[in-house]
Chain A
């Protein structure tokens, strides 16, 4: 079965640079979520989109923005990167009208130097 696709899988950036993470949900899923997991931490919710509209917002820094496109893929844009942004970034998708279980992608490991 198709899973959530995230790209890139690994990313190395310098401080103050920008990064764009991409997420392709499971086909027919209408909802996308972004989570950030620091080393040894549990995943923390950043933001979610349902039918291309922002649905909920968590502890997402103002330097980050995200959107969901007409084909339901989503991008997380991160600017003015800081050392503390180094983390594993997960995208998850679900079908709100159905099972609603969030299925996670493999994650993007971001390292800020």
Chain B
């Protein structure tokens, strides 16, 4: 069984602060994908990033960066210089890698990020 834990229920920061969202996962699969999705107040689910389990290289994309550590089963997501438009619920998610089947996403419970002026 797969499990994703986002221990932070809600985070509040002031604009321009950096913020890190934590994600810890459990899986028996040897290969898998990890994702971050954003759900703004309007309700849609927006794909942000994807990482393969065999690629632990951490990257930066604009104001977003992520830290994937297989040894601790963590996939943390950082927003640098936060903006009010970053206010949303952020979901970490996990799925097995492609084996020819349409693998479901298992989501964490989400972290609500509130960015204020």
Q: How far is the CA of A48 from the CA of B103 in the complex (A)?
A: 8
Q: How far is the CA of A107 from the CA of B108 in the complex (A)?
A: 19
Cβ contact within 8 Å between A33 and B104: yes
Cβ contact within 8 Å between A58 and B45: no
Cβ of A61 to closest chain B Cβ, rounded Å: 16
Contacts of A42 in B (CB 8 A): 91, 107-110
Q: Taking chain A's interface residues, is the majority helix, strand, or loop, or is none over half, making it mixed?
A: strand
Is A109 interfacial (CB-CB < 8 Å)? yes
Contacts of A94 in B (CB 8 A): 102
Is B41 interfacial (CB-CB < 8 Å)? no
Interface flags, B79-113, vs A, CB<8A=1, else 0: 00000000000010001011011111111111000
Q: How far is the CA of A43 from the CA of B110 in the complex (A)?
A: 10
**Known interface pairs A42-B109, A43-B107; A50-B101 also in contact (CB < 8 Å):** yes
Is A100 interfacial (CB-CB < 8 Å)? yes
Task: State which of A32, A43, A55, A101 has its C-beta within 8 Å of the C-beta of B101.
Answer: A55
**Known interface pairs A42-B110, A96-B98, A96-B100; A102-B105 also in contact (CB < 8 Å):** yes
Task: State which of B47, B100, B108 has its C-beta within 8 Å of the C-beta of A103.
Answer: B47
Contacts of B50 in A (CB 8 A): 99, 101
Closest to A35 in B: B105
Closest to A107 in B: B43
**Known interface pairs A42-B91, A100-B33, A106-B44; A49-B107 also in contact (CB < 8 Å):** no
Cβ of A87 to closest chain B Cβ, rounded Å: 11
Interface size on A, residues (CB 8 A): 30
Contacts of B43 in A (CB 8 A): 88, 106-107, 109
Interfacial residues, chain A to chain B (CB-CB below 8 A): 31-33, 35, 41-45, 48-50, 55-56, 58, 88, 90, 92, 94, 96, 99-107, 109
Interfacial residues, chain B to chain A (CB-CB below 8 A): 33, 35, 37, 43-47, 50, 91, 95, 97-98, 100-110
List 5 contacting pairs A-B, 8 Å CB cutoff, sorted by A: A33-B105, A55-B101, A102-B35, A102-B105, A105-B44
